[in-house]
Amino acid sequence: MPENCNIFLPNRLQVLNSVMRLSILCALLLVGSETQSQVIGNWNFNGTTTGTASTFNTVSVADFSSAVPSRAFNASTEYFGENGWPTGSLNPLHYLEFTLTPNTGYALNLSSITLRMRHSNTGPSGGSGPTAFNLRSSLDGFTSDLTSGVLTGAYVNFTITPGAAYSSLPTAITFRVYGHTAIVYTGGNNRLVFDNIQVTAIGLVLPLQVLYFKGTMQNGHVSLHYEANDVAAGTSFEIERSTDAYNFRTINTEIIGNGTAHIHNAFEDRDLSSATGNLHYRLKTTSANGVTSYSKIVHLPGEASKSKLIVSYNRNLLHIENPPPGANRLILFNTAGGLTYQQPVNAGDKPSLNYSLPSLSPGIYYVILRSTTASRSAQIVITY
């Protein structure tokens, strides 16, 4: 006797009530008041066990375990597993399994699971096969029931609301449908039959984590680095620069094409010709769902600060910071304008120099470093 083929009419998708939605969105720092559940996994078994996912997750095939020895499509509109179903209570080896996996940077917030299923309608007394089922998940190692129910030879839509434990899942979740308590009549088939499986959820972007943003001045340019976790596709990173720590402009933008668990990027700011005075940088991030945030400001000395000569004197040792690069002449004058000391020096590209001087009498001295293109001066006070 052939299997009957019933038409599947999907139930209307359930929308989370506003209170639940608000609590979830606040907890996950999401923006938007009209977020509704959407289908993130659908298996129609029309000649295939491959499911259809949403844009922010993937799904596995939905198939029976190896303990179910035979499986096939009926008229390419439904899928069954035949034989092996226990006549007694649930056996953890006999099930149909399917998995949903969020893309990197996203999480799953399951709102409903609908199983359209029956047992075989062959044989007398309403058909044969498992008369009971249980739904379990990998969240607790398949140890407790999400739901259980009674199976007959007619299709029933079993809709399950998983609950709060199935919110904000950043990794894969697997479900198993166990069939058991099978009754097989003469002429009947021991089959568990599926017409459709559908999972709905609110797709959630995990909060972007900027681990650090830092910068260093190196040989006349600024080297900037930033690192972040849970970066969803479409996230943008903008490096902004300011000379007054108030008015910022974007000097580099990077948009992440594919979601990734971790990024570590660098940018070299070499165009400092218009940047006088101190430099201030910040990182602007715009997540895939439109949330914008800023890093702490990184403060660095600009070219004007670098041009200031800094000197100190201790026990005949003169320490110089920010000397003009290349060949220089070191000159010391006293307050009366008398030349106290001079000698040629080559600073190269060193940020600081140390020179031994002859003993100097207590007083105020002016130190000058003069190259062919620049002259920098500073004052020292000797008290001993």
* Segment 250-289, tens digit of pLDDT: 999 999 887 777 899 999 988 776 565 678 999 999 987 7
pLDDT given at position 215: 92
DSSP 60: -
Q: If you average pLDDT over residues 320-347, what whole number do you get?
A: 85
Q: Look at residue 82 and tell me whether its pLDDT is greater than 90.
A: yes
What mean pLDDT value characterizes the chain? 84
Burial class (CB in 10 A: 0-12, 13-18, 19+), 59: buried
> Tokens at residue 346, please?
């080559």
Distance CA 41, CA 58 (A): 8
pLDDT at 186: 87
Q: Are 215 and 225 in contact (CB under 8 A)?
A: yes
* Tokens of residue 134, six digits: 């249980």
Confidence (pLDDT) at 31: 33
pLDDT tops 50 at residue 17: no
pLDDT at 21: 37
What is the pLDDT at residue 179? 98
User: What's the whole-number mean pLDDT along residues 316-332?
Assistant: 84
pTM for the whole structure = 0.59
Residue 349: is its pLDDT beyond 80? no
Residue ranges in the chain assigned as alpha helix (H)? 18-27, 303-306
Q: 56-60, 150-154, 269-273: which range is least confident on average? A: 269-273
Which two three-digit tokens encode residue 362? 């207590």
Q: Does the pLDDT of residue 1 top 60, yes or no?
A: no
Between the alpha carbon of residue 162 and those of residues 55, 145, 173, 207, 358, the distances in Å are 22, 10, 12, 23, 84
Tokens of 383: 């008290």
pLDDT attached to residue 255: 92
CB 163 within 8 A of CB 113: no
Predicted local confidence at residue 315, as pLDDT: 79
Segment 198-240, tens digit of pLDDT: 999 987 778 888 999 999 987 778 899 999 988 888 899 999 9
pLDDT band at 363 (very low <50, low <70, confident <90, very high): confident
Alpha carbon distances (Å) from 227 to 260, 280, 287, 352:
12, 19, 15, 31
20-52: b (≥16 Cβ within 10 Å) or e: ebeebbeebebeeeebebebbbbbbbeeebebe
Q: Range with the lowest mean pLDDT among 54-68, 118-132, 353-367? A: 353-367
pLDDT of 306 over the 50 cut: yes
Share of the chain above pLDDT 90, in %: 47
User: Contact at 8 Å (CB) between 292 and 314?
Assistant: no
The residues near 141 (Cβ < 8 Å, ≥ 6 apart) are none
Q: What is the pLDDT of residue 244?
A: 78
Residue 40 pLDDT class (50, 70, 90 cuts): very high
Task: Give pLDDT, residue 272.
Answer: 72
pLDDT, position 275:
60
Distance CA 37, CA 52 (A): 16
Report yes or no: 175 and 105 within 8 Å, Cβ to Cβ.
no
DSSP secondary-structure letter at 169?
Answer: B
For each of the domains in the chain, give its residue range(s) and CATH number, in order of start: 18-205 (2.60.120), 209-303 (2.60.40.10), 307-382 (2.60.40.3080)
